[in-house]
């Protein structure tokens, strides 16, 4: 397969144009005050860095970190056993159907799934007719449930992949050497599935911390996340500088996470 082909350089250029050029542009915009992309009235300023420390945004940062950490941990708590059970199913028919059942919700529109929860969590809902009324809109609980339900499959699959790859002889060896089931799990299975956990965590944490439609619908306007601030700066207020600064910070965080994942998982096998 040692044929030189043109596609790779083209792909690398395409990635650079669509990943690094916008990063540089945002880095530049982060140091400016501008209305949208109107560069004729651009002024340099460090105000965006001051704004970022404005206490009015602290709740959004805190919510993003706290709520999506809880949601991702819940995804892990639910997703790990599910992935484990899936790898243990012997009949390939049952396993395939179940795997497909976990992907299927992603074909159902994300916004509509969120609206589904919104309708259920409203004080007056279709459940009133059977005497139940939730009044959860605006509560952190509603947001967390929404996040878990939206991103759970993204936790199950990387863990399933890493468990599936696990060499069975290692587990047998551990039993042969006298380890109990729990010991085997703790010192063989869990450490070997850590890369799957890391990528699952990244795949659920980031999107839930930055989704803006989900808190818009499930918080009744009470709880804002990072995504809402970024969205309103690029949308309503055309404050591209401030929005860019937040995006740049996110990119830097992602970059650090990627270096970390790349060390554990050199070929990127575990993101799917």
Partner 1 sequence: MIKKISKFSTIFITLAILYIPILIICFLSVNDSLRPYEFNGFTLKWYLQIFKEKTLYQAILNTWGIALLATAISTVCGTFIALAISSLKQKHRQLVIFLNNMPILNADIVTGISLMIVFSFLGLHFGRYTMLLAHIFFCIPFVVLSIMPRLKMMDENSYDAARDLGCTHFQAVRKVILPAIKVGIISGALIAFTMSIDDFIISYYTTGDGFSNFSTWIYSRLNRRTFSPAAYAYNTIITLGLLITLIYINLKGDSKNEKNN
User: What residues numbered 222-241 form the site for partner 1, per CB under 8 A?
Assistant: 227, 230-231, 234, 240
Q: Residue holding tokens 């069975």? A: 168
Q: Residue holding tokens 């049952």? A: 94
Three-state DSSP class for residue 32: strand
- What distance in Å separates the CA atoms of residue 243 and residue 132, rounded to the nearest whole number? 42
Smallest gap, in angstroms, from Cβ of residue 71 to partner 1? 11
Provide the phi-psi class of 178: left if phi over 0, else alpha when psi is between -120 and 50, else beta. left
| Window 36 to 75, contacts with partner 1 (CB under 8 A) | 37
| Window 5 to 34, contacts with partner 1 (CB under 8 A) | 5, 7-8, 11-12, 14-19, 21-23, 25-26, 29
User: In this chain, which stretch among 55-63, 167-175, 181-189, 259-267 interacts with partner 1, using CB under 8 A?
Assistant: 259-267
Q: Is 203 in the site for partner 1 (CB under 8 A)?
A: yes
Q: How many residues bind partner 1 (CB under 8 A)?
A: 94
Taking the least distance from each CB to partner 1, the nearer of 188 and 225 is: 225
218: enclosing H helix or E strand: helix 213-218
Residues 171-190: x where in contact with partner 1 by CB under 8 A, - otherwise, as a string: --------------------
- What distance in Å separates the CA atoms of residue 213 and residue 110, rounded to the nearest whole number? 9
| Window 154 to 173, contacts with partner 1 (CB under 8 A) | 156
Q: Please check whether residue 147 is in contact with residue 193, taking contact to mean a CB–CB distance below 8 angstroms.
A: no
């Amino acid at each position: 397969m040692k044929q030189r082909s043109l596609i790779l350089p083209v792909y690398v250029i395409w990635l650079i144009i669509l990943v690094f050029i916008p990063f540089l542009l945002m880095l530049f915009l982060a140091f400016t005050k501008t209305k949208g992309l109107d560069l004729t009235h651009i002024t340099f300023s460090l105000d965006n860095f001051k704004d970022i420390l404005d206490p009015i945004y602290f709740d959004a940062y805190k919510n993003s970190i706290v709520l999506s950490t809880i949601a991702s941990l819940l995804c892990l708590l639910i997703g790990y056993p599910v992935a484990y059970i899936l790898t243990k199913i012997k009949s390939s028919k049952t396993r395939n159907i179940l795997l497909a059942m976990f992907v299927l919700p992603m074909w159902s529109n994300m916004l509509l799934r969120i609206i589904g929860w919104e309708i259920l969590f409203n004080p007056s809902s279709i459940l009133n007719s059977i005497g139940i009324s939730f009044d959860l809109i605006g509560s952190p609980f509603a947001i967390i449930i929404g996040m878990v339900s939206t991103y759970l499959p993204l936790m199950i699959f990387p863990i399933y992949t890493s468990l599936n790859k696990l060499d069975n002889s290692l587990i047998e060896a551990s039993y042969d050497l006298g380890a109990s089931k729990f010991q085997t799990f703790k010192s063989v299975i869990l450490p070997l599935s850590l890369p799957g956990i890391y990528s699952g965590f990244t795949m659920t944490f980031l999107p839930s911390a930055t989704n803006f439609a989900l808190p818009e619908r499930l918080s009744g306007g009470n709880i804002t996340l990072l995504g809402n601030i970024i969205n309103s700066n690029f949308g309503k207020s055309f404050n591209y500088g401030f929005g860019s600064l937040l995006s740049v910070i996110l990119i830097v965080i992602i970059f650090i996470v990627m270096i970390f994942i790349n060390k554990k998982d050199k070929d990127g096998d575990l993101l799917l």
